[in-house]
Amino acid sequence: MPRINKKATPSYWSKKKDMSKRTYVEKRYNTRRWKKARAIYIKENPLCVDCNKLATVVDHIKPVRLGGEFWDKDNWQSMCGICHNRKSGYESKL
Ligand SMILES: [Zn+2]
């Protein structure tokens, strides 16, 4: 029996498409300006606001998706990946 190449099946690609549609990507996160600002912010605020471990992400306290201000540092907080994932998981249900 020949092995089926998963990537060649239409269902594989339609699934892929659905996934990219579902994932909300804020374009500004990919800009050089944001990466630079984020790096500086984490340097100044190196600890996760939730668990005090080393922060790796800058989180928007009020999600941009829900009307939070993207560039306002008052709306930023340092978070580790774990806490950030938990927060964004919770927010996706809002
Ligand atoms: Zn944390």
pLDDT by 10-residue block (mean), the chain, 94 residues: 66 55 67 96 98 97 93 97 92 79
> Quick one: pLDDT at residue 22?
44
DSSP state of 61: S
36 CA to centre of ligand 1 in angstroms: 21
**Phi, psi (5° rounding) for residue 47?**
-110, 145
Specify if 61 maps to a domain.
yes
| Token digits of residue 39 | 């790096």
Instruction: Tell me which residues have their CB within 5 A of the ion that is ligand 1.
Output: 48, 50-51, 80, 83
Query: In one letter, which amino acid is 38?
Result: R
Structural domain harbouring 66: 27-92
Specify if 77 maps to a domain.
yes
d(CA 75, CA 69) in angstroms, rounded, equals 7
> Quick one: pLDDT at residue 54?
98
Specify if 16 maps to a domain.
no
29 CA to centre of ligand 1 in angstroms: 20
Split into its structural domains, the chain has a count of 1
d(CA 72, CA 89) in angstroms, rounded, equals 23
> Quick one: pLDDT at residue 65?
87
> Quick one: pLDDT at residue 94?
73
Specify if 35 maps to a domain.
yes
2 CA to centre of ligand 1 in angstroms: 48
Helix (H, G, I), strand (E, B) or coil at 94: coil
Helix (H, G, I), strand (E, B) or coil at 57: strand
Specify if 38 maps to a domain.
yes
